């Protein structure tokens, strides 16, 4: 066990088992919602740093990791956002920072506009801004499906390296170990929602300090997107990590933390 991970646990919230990992245990609470194929454990190298200053909770989104999964569940954006709302309420979190990466940022944003209580700040890390009538998300669905299918059969380091060639051996091994827990129907629905659900409608409803962290590479958020979001939420703070692709902390961990600036109130 890492020096800052306190434990992993489950809570029943929004009618399902939600599994999470907790780090640090002191300071302002921070809830982190990972991306489309990232179980909570894959964010441990980030959460360990956050746990030095914040009481950090990393969630296994439904259909991933050790949270509830299966064909009987819904995986749409609103349902997953409601999971986030219910998770924080079940743990009695107040005055907490809500952060999300990619898909998780879309869920975090939607959670705030669907009545999440106690959110003090919102950090959106390179959320897909695709949607109806907008340009497509840069990644393609077969990349996710093929890699998950490889892991369902049993995936070695070199097979995983084909999908994530710039990652370290440790990161590749961890992804190979856990990717099989990503339920394909959940991944497909989330990917479809990237193109069928427009999150821009949510920005004007946000009433808490908000950071939009953008990757300088990868093309998820472009300059015109930043301008549009700024018009929708004039108070938004926009920071860019110039040398990183969409998986910002994997590409530039120090740049990732620098990208928060003083927004969190403490520099992990």
pLDDT of residue 74: 98
pLDDT of residue 25: 93
Task: Report, as an integer, the average pLDDT of 112-116.
Answer: 96
Q: Are 175 and 165 in contact (CB under 8 A)?
A: no
Determine the average pLDDT of the residues in 196-212. Answer: 98
Q: How confident is the model over 79-89, as pLDDT tens digits?
A: 999 999 999 99
**DSSP states along the chain:** --SSEEEEEEEEETTEEEEEEEE---SSEEEEE--TT--GGGGHHHHHHHTTTSEEEEE--TTSTTS--STTS---HHHHHHHHHHHHHHTT--SEEEEEETHHHHHHHHHHHTT--SEEEEEEES-----TTSPPPSS-HHHHHHHHHHHHH---HHHHHHH-TTS-HHHHHHHHHHGGGS-HHHHHHHHHHHHH--GGGGGGG--S-EEEEEESSSSSS-HHHHHHHHHHSTT-EEEEETT--SSHHHH-HHHHHHHTTTTTSS--
> Taking a C-beta distance cutoff of 8 angstroms, is the pair 238, 210 a contact?
no
Q: Convert the pLDDT of each residue in 12-58 to its tens digit.
A: 999 999 999 999 999 999 999 999 999 999 999 999 999 999 999 99
Confidence of residue 3 (pLDDT cuts 50, 70, 90): low
Which whole number is the average pLDDT over 186-210?
A: 98
Question: What tens digit of pLDDT does each residue of 140-183 get?
Answer: 999 999 999 999 999 989 999 999 999 999 999 999 999 999 99
Q: Is the confidence at residue 1, as pLDDT, over 50?
A: no
The stretch 221-236 carries a mean pLDDT of 98
**Mean per-residue pLDDT over the chain, rounded:** 96
Q: State how far the Cα of 182 lies from the Cα of 198, in Å rounded to an integer.
A: 24
State the CB neighbour count (10 A cutoff) for residue 121: 19
Which pLDDT score, from 0 to 100, does residue 266 have? Answer: 76
* Predicted model pTM: 0.97
247 pLDDT exceeds 70? yes
């Amino acid at each position: 066990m890492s020096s800052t991970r306190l434990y992993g646990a489950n809570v029943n919230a929004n009618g399902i088992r939600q599994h999470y990992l907790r780090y640090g245990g002191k300071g302002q609470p921070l809830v982190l919602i990972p991306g489309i194929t990232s179980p909570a454990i894959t964010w441990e190298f980030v959460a360990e740093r956050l746990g030095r200053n914040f009481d950090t909770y990393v969630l296994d989104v439904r259909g991933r990791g050790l949270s509830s999964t299966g064909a009987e569940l819904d995986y749409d954006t609103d349902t997953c956002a409601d999971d986030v709302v219910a998770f924080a309420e079940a743990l009695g979190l107040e005055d907490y920072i809500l952060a999300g990466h990619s898909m998780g940022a879309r869920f975090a944003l939607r959670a705030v506009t669907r009545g999440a209580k106690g959110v003090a700040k919102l950090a959106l890390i390179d959320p897909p801004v695709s949607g109806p009538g907008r340009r497509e998300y840069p990644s393609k669905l077969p990349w996710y499906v093929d890699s998950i299918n490889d892991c369902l059969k049993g995936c070695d380091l070199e097979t995983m390296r084909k999908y994530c060639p710039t990652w370290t051996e440790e990161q590749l091994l961890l992804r190979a170990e856990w990717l099989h827990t990503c339920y394909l129907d959940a991944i497909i629905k989330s990917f479809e929602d990237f193109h069928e659900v427009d999150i821009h409608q949510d920005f004007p409803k946000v009433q808490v300090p908000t950071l939009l962290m953008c990757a300088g590479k990868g093309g998820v958020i472009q300059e015109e997107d930043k301008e549009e979001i700024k018009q929708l939420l004039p108070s938004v703070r926009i920071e860019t990590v110039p040398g990183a692709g969409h998986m910002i902390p994997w590409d530039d961990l120090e740049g990732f933390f620098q990208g928060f600036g003083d927004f969190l109130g403490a520099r992990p």
